[in-house]
Amino acid sequence: MLRTLLRSIVQFLFKLLSHQDVQGLENIPPTGPGILAANHLGRLDSPLLFSLLDRTDITSLVADKYQHNRLLRPLVNAVHGIWINREQADFRALRQALDYIEGGGMLGIAPEGTRSQTGALMPAKTGVAYLAGRAGVFIVPVGIWGTEAAIAQLCRLRRPLIHARIGQPFLLPPLERGDRSAGLQKNTAEIMCRIAALLPPAYRGVYAEHPMLKELLGEHQHVRVE
């Protein structure tokens, strides 16, 4: 009940205070476990996805520094958010995330681990690849832009234009025996290249010249990112 009310409030605020350009919502499976992997530009990224996705079982990893925020803490707990210490390898949070996925839920994660200060993609951590591989679930890539300047525009009494592109679900290849670290890095690069393919060129960052991205762009020329 509280979750439904929160989503309705967030949806109303986004419609009232912003313009939204969203494509690909049909790519979100209505049921079943999975991971939503998105780039991270601003504080509005997670609320935006929460408002857009019509699933009652989606949650996300949230930096534990916000546990001390009297407003955010009860809201995060209400949607079963998983607190994570991003300053170290937080195996407790990863275990909770894995349990949540294996229980049939959808988990939203920013593979980069933190907000990009430049607006472009940064090297990602391997946590998403690890979780997806362990649980054997699909990943839905999401590219978001416009949120990096949204709050500043709102402060100037302007309605920001926020874009979201949701790609098709995909499964990562299984890790080969031997050098698992190299396999995780390769799978992480695939995740990020699939996100990059949904973004305008200026947002692709360190993955802009990746061979896998160029291959994906050749296969998905129909994706509109202007």
Q: Which amino acid is at 42?
A: G
Q: What is the helix, strand, coil percentage profile of the chain, to 5?
A: 45, 15, 40
- Residue 13 falls inside a structural domain: yes
The predicted pLDDT at position 148 comes to 95
The rounded percent of the chain whose pLDDT value lies above 90 is 69
- pLDDT tens-digit series, residues 41-99: 998 999 999 999 988 899 998 888 888 887 788 888 888 889 888 777 788 998 999 99
- Residue 210 falls inside a structural domain: yes
Q: Which amino acid is at 24?
A: G
Which structural domain range is residue 161 located in?
2-219
The predicted pLDDT at position 175 comes to 85
Please give the backbone phi and psi of residue 128, each rounded to the nearest 5 degrees, phi first: -65, -45
The predicted pLDDT at position 151 comes to 93
- Residue 33 falls inside a structural domain: yes
- Residue 198 falls inside a structural domain: yes
- Residue 34 falls inside a structural domain: yes
The total number of structural domains that make up the chain: 1
Residue 106 · residue 33 · CB < 8 Å: yes
DSSP-derived 3-state class of residue 191: helix
pLDDT along the chain (226 residues), means of 10: 84 94 95 96 92 89 82 82 82 91 94 92 95 95 96 94 97 85 94 98 96 87 50
Predicted model pTM: 0.91
The CATH number assigned to the domain holding 191 equals 3.40.1130.10
- Residue 225 falls inside a structural domain: no
Query: What is the C-alpha to C-alpha distance for residues 30 and 185, in angstroms, rounded to an integer?
Result: 29
